[in-house]
Structure 1
Amino acid sequence: MIEIEDELRSFRDMHKLSRTARYPLSKLLHIGILGFVIMAETALNGVFFARGSDAGLIGGAGIAIAVAVANLALGVLLGRWAVPSTIHRGIFRKFMGFVSLIVLPAAILFFNVGVAHYRDALGGDAPEMAAKLALASLQANVWDIKDIESWFLIILGCACSLGAAYDAYLMDDPYPGYGPLSRRAREATDSYAAEKNDLVAELTDAKGAEVEAMGRVRKEVSQGKGHFINLIGTRDHLRSTYETHLQHLESCANDLLRTYRDANSMARTTPRPAHFAEKWCLARPAEPTIDPFAGLTPTMFDNETDNVVAALEKGIADMNSAFLEAMAEFKRIDQLTTKDFEDGTAGKATTVAA
C-alpha cells in the first residue's frame, strides 16, 4: 500500500496534479450506454440500408452492424485517447492528442460520407459493384450524395460516434493514467483497511475472551472463599458435635455401670471389687491422617484469596494495556513510509496522537 501511495504521489508531482481522480464508481452505466448506442445505430442503419438494398432488411443488417461498430470504435478512440491526450504534460503525447483531435473527427465524417456513397451505390443499377461505384463517386465529388436518407445516415453515424466519444470520455478520469493508478491505490487502501479491521476485530475478540475468562476465575475465587470458610466452620462444628456426642455416650455408659455396680455391691457377700471405683472411658477414634485444611485458617485463606484476586486484576489491566499498545502499533503502521523501511527506521516511527 505504501508503494502504490508513493507511486500515486510521484505521479501527481510529475504531472502537477493537485486534485483527486474523478471517475465513476462503476463503468456499467457507461458500458450500457455504449451498448445502447451500437444497438440503436445498428437498427436505424439496418432500416436505411434495407431501403437501398434489394436484399431488404436482412441484407442490410450485416452492413449496419459493421458501420455501427466502426463508428463506436472511432468515437471511443476520440473520447478516451485523443481528448485526454491534449491535457497530458508530455509534449509528444499532447502533440499527438491535438493531431488526433483533428484527424479522428475528420475520419468519422469521412467514413460516414463514404458509407452514404455506398448506400447510394447499393440502391443503384449495379448493387454488386456498390463498393467500386461508391469509391469512384467519393473521389469524383465527396458531397455528391443523391438520397436524402443517405444524408440522414451521415448525421446518424456522426452523432452516434460523437455520443460514444462523450460517454467514453466520462468513463474515467480525463488525465491519462490517473484514473487506473488512483483505483489501484484505492483498492490497496480498501484491502489494507479490510485486513486491518479483521485483525482489530480478532484482537478485540481475543482480548475480550481472556478478560472474560480472568473475570470468571476471579468470581470463582471470590465464591470459593466463602465456600471454604463455610467448610471450615462446618468441619469445626461437626468435630465439636461429634466430641460432645462421644462424651454423652461415655456418660451414659458410666451411669449404667454405676447402677449395675451399686446393685451388685448390695447383693454380693464378698468385698466390692476395686475396679468398681474406676470410671469407664470410651476409646476415641484416631484423627484423619490426611486433612485438606491442615494449617489453613480463614485469615490465611483471606490473604491468599486477596493475592489471587489482585493478580487477576493485574492480569486484566496488563491485557487491556497490551491491547492499547497493539492498537497504537496499528496507528504507527499507518504512518510508515517507504523511506522508513529503506532506512530501517520502521520500528522507530513516532506515533501521532489520534
Structure 2
Amino acid sequence: MGAWSKVRGFFDRGEPLRAPMDDPFIQIDRAEAASSLRLRERGAEQGALELPAASMQTLDVVEAEVAAFIQDHFERAQIDAANSIRTYDSRLNSLSLIANLSSIRTQAKIALSDFKAEVATRRGRLTTSRDAIVDSYAELRDFRKKTDLRRPAHDAPPTSATIGTILVCWLLETIANSMFLRLGDSMGWLGGVIAAAVVGAINVGVAAVVGRLVWPLVNRREPMMRSIGWLGIVAWFVLTVLWNLLAGHYRDAKSLALPSPETAALGMLGSGLESIYSYGLLIAGMVFAFGAAISGYKMDDPYPGYGPVARRHASRCEDYVAEIEDATEELTGIRNDAVGEATDVRMELGRQLAQRQQILTHRDAFRRRYEEYAEHLEATGNALLQEYRTANRAARSTPVPARFDMAWTLPRAPLPRAPGEDVPRSAIDAAEADLEQTVTDISAAFDEAIESFEPLDELKRRIADG
C-alpha cells in the first residue's frame, strides 16, 4: 500500500553519532599562567606604588590582563563548543520520523482506510458474482422443474472433437465411394473423387444436422415435440436410404456407360442394384450417416437447451470461485505489505528514539562539561587574581580596594537547548501505539473480510435451503 510512502521518507540512514574530534576544554596550568603573567612581581611593583588606589572600583591593568587571559580561553572554548553542539543538533534534526509523529498517526489511519476501501471494493465484486449465481440457480431450477429433469447435465465433448468425427466420417465415405464411382467415369479418379465428395457431404452433413437438431426432440416432455422428433428421424432415415440407393444406381449407370447417369439413376429407383459394389456403396453411406448423426446427437446434452443452461451455471460458479481466490490473494498481499511497512516504521521509530536519547545524553554531558569548564576558568581566574592581590597587599602601606576581598565573576552565555527536546514521551508512545493498533486493525479487517467471502459450497447450501 502507498499510505506509508510519505512516512518512509522520514527514515534516517545517516552516519552514527561520533564525539567531537578535538576537546575544546583545555585545562590551564595555574602556576605556569601566574609565572607567565608575572603576577607576584607585578603585584609587588604595583603595591610599592600604592596602586591601585583604594577607591578604584574597576580592575587595574594587571587584573584586566588576567581577566582577558581567562576570557580568551573561555571564548575559544565557547566557539568550539558551539560547533560541537551544532553537530549534535544536526543529528537531532535528521531524525525526521520523531519530528513528524503526527504524520505517522495520520498515515496509519490512511493505511487502515485504504485497506478497508479495498475490502469494500472486493465485496462489491463478489456481490455481483454471487447475485449471478443466485440467478443462475433460479434459471437451472426452473428449467429442471419445467422439464422434470433430476439428473445433472451431461458433459459435452469438445466441439473440435465432434467436428473432427464428422469430418472423418465424410472423408472415409469419400474415399470408399470414390473407389466405386470412378468406374466408367470419363475423368477417372478425379471424377470419382468429386462425385464421392458431393455424395458424402450431403449424406454426412444432413445426418449431422438431424443428429444435433432433430434427434434430441424425442427427449422433450411435450408430446407434440416428441412426435415431431420421431417423424423427423423417420423421414431422415427414409431419405438417407433413398439417397444411398440413388448413389448405388448412379454407380451402376456409370458402369453401364449410360448417357446422363444422374437421370438414369433416378429411373432405376425401385429396381435392384446391379452389383455387390453398389450394395457396398449403400452400406457405407448408411454407416457413415449414422456415425455423423450420433456425433451430432452427443455434441451436447440430449435434452434440448439443458446443456447451455448448465454451462452458464458452471461458468458463473467458476467465476465466483476465481473472484474469491483473486480477492483473497490480493488482500493477503495488501495486508502483508501494510503490516510489513507499519512494522518497519515502528522499528525505525524505536531506532531513532534510541539514537535521539543517545544524542541528547551526549549533548547534555557536553553541556555539563561546558558549565564545569566555565566554573574551572572562573576559579582559576580568581586564584590568579588572588595571587596578584596578595603580593600587592603585602607590598603596600595604604588600604587595598574593597573589591580585593570580592570574587571575580566570569561572564558566560548558556548553550542553546537542543531542538526536539520539547517532543513529549507521551507523543512517541501514542505513535507507537497507533502503529501497533494499525497492525492489529488491518489483521482483524483481513480476517473479517476473508470470513465474509462466502465459499461456493456454503452459497450452494444456502440457496438450496431457500
TM category (shorter chain) comes to 0.7 to 0.9
CA pair 291-117 structure 1, distance change in 2 beyond 3 A? closer
Say whether 1:86 aligns with 2:209.
no
| Cα distance in 2 for residues equivalent to 1:334 and 1:287 | 73
CA pair 88-306 structure 1, distance change in 2 beyond 3 A? same
TM-score by length of 1: 0.82
Count of residue pairs brought into register by the alignment: 330
Say whether 1:314 aligns with 2:437.
yes
Q: Deviations over 1:79-125 (max 9, x none)?
A: 32333221211211111122223222222122111111111112223
Asked if the contact 1:116/1:154 (under 8 Å) is kept, the reply is yes
What letter corresponds to residue 245 of structure 1 in structure 2?
A: Y
1:264, distance to aligned residue in structure 2 (A): 4.3
Structure 2 partner of 1:208: 336
1:265, distance to aligned residue in structure 2 (A): 4.4
| Matching residue within 133, 137, 141 for 1:5 | 137
| Cα distance in 1 for residues equivalent to 2:449 and 2:419 | 48
What letter corresponds to residue 325 of structure 1 in structure 2?
A: E
What letter corresponds to residue 316 of structure 1 in structure 2?
A: V
CA pair 285-66 structure 1, distance change in 2 beyond 3 A? same
- Structure 1 SS opposite 2:289: helix
| Matching residue within 69, 74, 86 for 2:201 | 69
Asked if the contact 1:23/1:171 (under 8 Å) is kept, the reply is no
Say whether 1:149 aligns with 2:284.
no
Structure 1 residue runs without a partner (length 5+): 338-349
| Cα distance in 1 for residues equivalent to 2:212 and 2:417 | 96
| Cα distance in 2 for residues equivalent to 1:246 and 1:112 | 126
Say whether 1:278 aligns with 2:406.
yes
| Cα distance in 1 for residues equivalent to 2:291 and 2:267 | 30
Structure 1 partner of 2:453: 330
1:287, distance to aligned residue in structure 2 (A): 4.6
Asked if the contact 1:83/1:97 (under 8 Å) is kept, the reply is yes
Structure 2 partner of 1:226: 354
Structure 2 partner of 1:135: 266
Asked if the contact 1:52/1:120 (under 8 Å) is kept, the reply is no
| Cα distance in 1 for residues equivalent to 2:418 and 2:286 | 105
Alignment of 1:1-354 (within 5 A): 1=132, 2-24=134-156, 26-127=158-259, 129-139=260-270, 141=271, 144-266=272-394, 271-288=399-416, 291-294=419-422, 301=425, 303-331=426-454
- Structure 1 SS opposite 2:224: helix
CA pair 280-334 structure 1, distance change in 2 beyond 3 A? farther
Q: Tell which structure's C-alpha radius of gyration is larger.
A: 2
What letter corresponds to residue 313 of structure 2 in structure 1?
A: A
Q: Which moved more, 1:233-242 or 1:9-18?
A: 233-242
Asked if the contact 2:317/2:456 (under 8 Å) is kept, the reply is no
| Cα distance in 1 for residues equivalent to 2:420 and 2:350 | 19
Structure 2 partner of 1:343: none
1:271, distance to aligned residue in structure 2 (A): 4.9
| Cα distance in 2 for residues equivalent to 1:17 and 1:51 | 53
CA pair 291-59 structure 1, distance change in 2 beyond 3 A? closer
1:5, distance to aligned residue in structure 2 (A): 2.6
Asked if the contact 1:50/1:60 (under 8 Å) is kept, the reply is yes
Give the structure, 1 or 2, with the largest relative contact order (CA under 8 Å, sep 6 or more): 2
- Structure 2 SS opposite 1:331: coil
| Cα distance in 2 for residues equivalent to 1:210 and 1:25 | 47
CA pair 251-183 structure 1, distance change in 2 beyond 3 A? same
| Cα distance in 2 for residues equivalent to 1:244 and 1:74 | 113
Cα-Cα RMSD: 2.8
- Structure 1 SS opposite 2:268: helix
